[in-house]
Homo-oligomer: A and B are copies of this chain.
Amino acid sequence: MKFRLIKSDKSARLGELHFDKGIIHTPVFMPVGTYGTVKTMTPNELTDIGAEIILANTYHLMIRPGKEILSAHGGLHRMMSWQKPILTDSGGYQIWSLSKKRKINDEYVEFDSPVNGDLIRLTPEIAMEIQKVIGSDIQMVLDECTHYPATKEEASLSMKRSEKWALRSHESFLKQKGDDDSACFGIIQGGMYPDLRLENLEYLSSIDFDGLAIGGLSVGEPIDERMMVLESLMPKMSENIPRYLMGLGTPIDIIKAVSVGVDMFDCVIPTRHARNGQIYTHSGVLKIKNSRYINDLEPLDAACGCYTCSNFTRSYLRHLFNCNEILGLRLATIHNLSFYIKLMDDIRKSIQSDTFEKFAKNFIQSYQQ
C-alpha cells in the first residue's frame, strides 16, 4: 500500500491509498460487510454507488464460514466476488462486545463462540493468520478495546497489553506477508486520557505501521470527550500515514472528525439504520415508517441521485416497510450508503477547494433543521 497526502485544508486532509486492487480516495467511508456481505447489497451494487473499500469482521468470519472455507475459496475477495480492497478488524472489539465468557492474559484471549459455544483462542499471531487467509488488504493488529468508562489505571493496563500485542501482530504480519501489497495498521488505545493516548502513539510510532487507527472511541462517550481526545492526539500523529477512526459514526460525527484530520471511517449506522427504516437525508433522519409519509410522493431526499431516489417515492418505501418487503430494506440501504459515500465525495471536493469549513457549517445547519 502506498499513501499519498494530496493536500490539507487547515487540519482536514485529502489523500489516496494505492493498492493493486484499486485507489481509495480519502477521507473515505467503508461500508461494513460483517459476514462477507454488506447486508442486503451485491458487490455490483457497492461498485455502482462508488464504494472503494469495504470492511469485514475477522471475529465473525473465523466463526462462520471459518478458515477452511475461506481458504478453499482463495480468500474472501473471490468468495464474495468483490475485487476492490478489503480492510479487516482483528476481532478484538467483538470479543468484548459479543462474547459472554472470555479469559484474557498477555498471551491469548479465549472466548466462547456465540454460534455453538465452542471455546475459541485468539492470539496476535492467530488473528493475523486469519486475516492473511481472508486475503485482507488492510490488516489490523489484535488489541484490547478499553471499556468505557475506565479508570486511568484500567486504561493504562489495557493499553500496555495492546502494545505487546501490536508488536507481535506486526511481526506476524511481516513474516507471512509475501510479495502482496497488503498493509498493517496499529490501533491507538488509552481510553479518554490524552496523556495515555500520546504515550501509546509514541510507542506505536516506533513500529513501522502503514497506518494508525484510533480505537476505543465510539464506545458510548459524549462527543465532546471524543473530540477532546482527537484534538490532543491528531496534531501529534505522522502526516505520512493514514488515520482511521474505528466504528464511527453519524454524518455529523464524521464531518467533525475530518475537521481534525481523520482519513478513514467505518460504521454499521447507514446499513443497520436503513433496515430499521431510518433514512439519512440532507435535512436529517427521516423515519420512513411514520404515517406522515403514507401518501408522500417525494423521493427520500430530493438532493440525492441514487437508484432509490431516482425511481421511488417515500410512499412506496413506506408501503414496502409496512408489508415487511425485503425490497424496502434494500432500497433504504442503497440510499443510506449512497448518502454516506456522496457525503465523503462532497467533503473531498470541499477540501480540494479549501472550503471544507464552509461546507461543514452549511451541512450541519441544514442537517439539524
Please give the residue numbers on chain A whose beta carbons come within 8 Å of chain B beta carbons, in ascending order: 35-37, 39-44, 64-65, 68-69, 72-73, 79-81, 294-295, 297, 307, 311-313, 315-316, 319-320, 322-323, 325-327, 329-331
Residue pair B295, A69 in contact (C-beta under 8 Å): yes
Across the interface, name the chain B residue whose C-beta is closest to A310.
B81
Contact of A72 among B42, B80, B295, B327 (CB under 8 A): B295
Across the interface, name the chain B residue whose C-beta is closest to A320.
B37
Residues on B with C-beta less than 8 A from A323 are 35, 64
Residue pair B37, A311 in contact (C-beta under 8 Å): no
Knowing A72-B295, A313-B73, A315-B72, the reply to whether A330 touches B326 (Cβ < 8 A) is yes
Residues on B with C-beta less than 8 A from A64 are 319, 322-323
Per the bound structure, the CA–CA distance linking A327 and B312 in Å amounts to: 21
State the Cβ distance, A62 to closest chain B Cβ, in Å: 13
Per the bound structure, the CA–CA distance linking A80 and B35 in Å amounts to: 30
Residues on B with C-beta less than 8 A from A322 are 64-65
Per the bound structure, the CA–CA distance linking A313 and B81 in Å amounts to: 10
Per the bound structure, the CA–CA distance linking A331 and B81 in Å amounts to: 13
Chain B CB count within 10 A is highest, among A69, A313, A319, for: A319
State the Cβ distance, A332 to closest chain B Cβ, in Å: 12
State the Cβ distance, A43 to closest chain B Cβ, in Å: 8
Knowing A35-B323, A73-B316, the reply to whether A40 touches B294 (Cβ < 8 A) is no
Across the interface, name the chain B residue whose C-beta is closest to A40.
B326
Across the interface, name the chain B residue whose C-beta is closest to A324.
B35
Residue pair A295, B36 in contact (C-beta under 8 Å): no
Per the bound structure, the CA–CA distance linking A212 and B21 in Å amounts to: 56
Residue pair A35, B72 in contact (C-beta under 8 Å): no
Per the bound structure, the CA–CA distance linking A79 and B42 in Å amounts to: 24
Residue pair B327, A40 in contact (C-beta under 8 Å): yes
Residues on B with C-beta less than 8 A from A313 are 73, 79
Residues on B with C-beta less than 8 A from A294 are 65, 69
Residues on B with C-beta less than 8 A from A68 are 295
Residue pair A39, B327 in contact (C-beta under 8 Å): yes
Across the interface, name the chain B residue whose C-beta is closest to A334.
B42
Residues on B with C-beta less than 8 A from A311 are 43, 81
Per the bound structure, the CA–CA distance linking A369 and B354 in Å amounts to: 68
Across the interface, name the chain B residue whose C-beta is closest to A316.
B79
